[in-house]
Amino acid sequence: MELKDKRRPSTLFFPKPVALVTAAAGGRDNVMTAAWVNVACMDPPMLCVSVRSSRFTHGLIQQSGQFVVNMPGEELLEAVELCGNVSGRDGDKFQLAGLTRQKALKVEAPLVAECPLSIECEVRHSLELGSHTLFIGEVMVVWLDDRHTDEAGHPLVERMRPFVLNYREYWGMGERLGTFGSGAPPFRVIP
Amino acid sequence: MELKDKRRPSTLFFPKPVALVTAAAGGRDNVMTAAWVNVACMDPPMLCVSVRSSRFTHGLIQQSGQFVVNMPGEELLEAVELCGNVSGRDGDKFQLAGLTRQKALKVEAPLVAECPLSIECEVRHSLELGSHTLFIGEVMVVWLDDRHTDEAGHPLVERMRPFVLNYREYWGMGERLGTFGSGAPPFRVIP
């Protein structure tokens, strides 16, 4: 059990969710692939996304104080790859990637219509950490495509087909392994 | 393409990485399942983890200014489920979950020996957002089990078997879909 190998500090952490982050300011908008995204708070609901300061999207979020996190399914892999490797300074990535803008409710940034899940956020904090800025946004509206839910309105993961980045590889979902909180261990469960 | 359904603000975002976060202070330590973890910065390398203020681990991180993010494989599902639903205030979760402490290099918190990847962090920022505090830690040491790498030292995802939370369900990895940055689109690639 002492087999681990020490390495220099790095960002070698995974799995990371694959998301498309949209932003808009000053009459321009953009869509960027981001994997450094997650939930930051439950009450109030907040997401955080880390964006390199040289990115076109970074300026759009800073100017507008708004962003949208969109969750693509596997069928959007090519669009995701393009949106992670091309700059919005060089063209309209929605057009290049074949993505459709859909009007958001509370923010200027467009939703990505092809994504089953989109979450509108307003920036509450931003931290300049070095190469990247961590934007922490309060969730204003959640959009969930009704073709991707069951009758109770719960998301159907097998239809949404989210995917992740492991190291630098995209991986799809395999099997459902279990449900959080179903273990019923013989101890006090945290409320 | 206008089929999305508006919902009230929530933390409905996924996929989220399944991690085991360890912390230690004042002669006590703990291991907690966390899914609200990700990279926050590349240079310097930083991770962020969001922890509910009522959690035992929250106090340990606040007191010590240190934490470790450990990445479990699928075979640790039961331990993960226990460590996410039992409080360290009620007992030694390492023992309850059958996990082994391994001494870290730069922090007091133990590594989880059974996890192929462990990342030691020192807190640089903490943001009290409401129900949760977002701890942003600089990566001090990365530990990668040498049974889970190829000859070049790159991680072998199929051996590590990371898993994620989708909504409230644990999901394993399926197929490798591609490699980030391999798309070679006919546009300038962001350096």
Return the percentage of chain A with pLDDT > 90, whole number.
85
pLDDT score of A183? 61
CA distance B111 to B132: 23
User: Average pLDDT, whole number, for chain B?
Assistant: 93
- Are B6 and A111 within 8 A, CB to CB? no
Residue B155 CA neighbour count, 13 Å, CB half: 28
- Among A41, A160, A187, most B C-beta atoms within 10 A, so best to mutate, is A41
Q: Is the dihedral of CA B33, A38, A44, A176 positive or negative?
A: negative
Nearest-by-Cβ selection for B41 from A46, A71, A131: A131
d(CA B122, CA B128): 17
User: Which residue of A47, A171, A180 is in closest CB contact with B177?
Assistant: A171
Q: How far apart are CA B30 and CA A156, in angstroms?
A: 34
Per-residue pLDDT tens digits for A70-103: 999 999 999 999 999 999 898 999 999 999 999 9
Would residue A181 be called left, alpha or beta, if left means φ above 0 and alpha means ψ between -120 and 50 degrees?
Answer: left
A119 forms beta bridges with A69, A142
3-state helix vs strand vs coil in chain B, percent to 5: 20, 45, 35
Give the distance from residue B96's alpha carbon to the nearest chain A alpha carbon, in angstroms: 10
Q: What is the mean pLDDT of residues A182-186?
A: 54
Coil vs helix vs strand at B85: helix
Contact A173 B162 (CB under 8 A): no
Average the pLDDT over A168-189 and give the result: 77
Of B15, B102, B185, the CB nearest to A15: B15
CB neighbour list of residue B47: distance below 8 Å, 6 or more residues apart: A11, A13, B37, B38, B39, B40, B69, B119, B121, B136, B137, B139
With a cut of 0.90, is the ipTM above it?
yes
Q: Rounded distance, CA B97 to CA B93, Å?
A: 6
CB A53, CB A131: distance < 8 Å:
yes
Q: Hey, are the CB atoms on A185 and B124 less than 8 Å from each other?
A: no
d(CA B140, CA B178): 30
Q: Which of A71, A85, A189 sits opposite B181 (nearest CB)?
A: A85
Query: Which of helix, strand or coil describes residue A160?
Result: helix
CA-based nearest distance B59→chain A, Å: 16
| pLDDT for the residue numbered B190 | 42
* Confidence at residue A189, expressed as pLDDT on a 0 to 100 scale: 39
Residues A53-80 as b/e (b if ≥16 CB within 10 A, e otherwise) read: eebbbbbbbbebbbbbbbbbbbebbebb
Which residue in the block uniquely carries the two structure tokens 């331990």? Answer: B79
In what helix (H) or strand (E) does residue A60 lie, and over which residues does it extend? helix A56-64
- Ordered alpha helix ranges (H), chain B: 56-64, 77-85, 93-97, 157-160
What confidence score (pLDDT) does residue A153 get?
87
The per-residue pLDDT for range B95-138, each reduced to its tens digit, is: 999 999 999 999 999 999 999 999 999 999 999 999 999 999 99
**Residue B187: per-residue pLDDT:** 40
Distance CA(B2)–CA(B4), nearest Å, equals 6
pLDDT, tens only, B82-95: 999 999 898 999 99
Of the candidates A7, A105, A174, which has its C-beta nearest B142's C-beta? Answer: A7
Is B42–A131 a contact, with Cβ atoms under 8 angstroms apart? Answer: yes
Residues of chain A with C-beta less than 8 angstroms from the C-beta of B101: none
> Given CB atoms, is A156 within the 8 Å cutoff of chain B?
no
3-class secondary-structure state, position B68: strand
Residue pLDDT, tens place only, A122-172: 999 999 999 999 999 999 999 998 899 999 889 999 999 999 999 999 999
Could A141 and B7 be called an inter-chain contact, meaning their C-beta atoms sit closer than 8 Å? yes
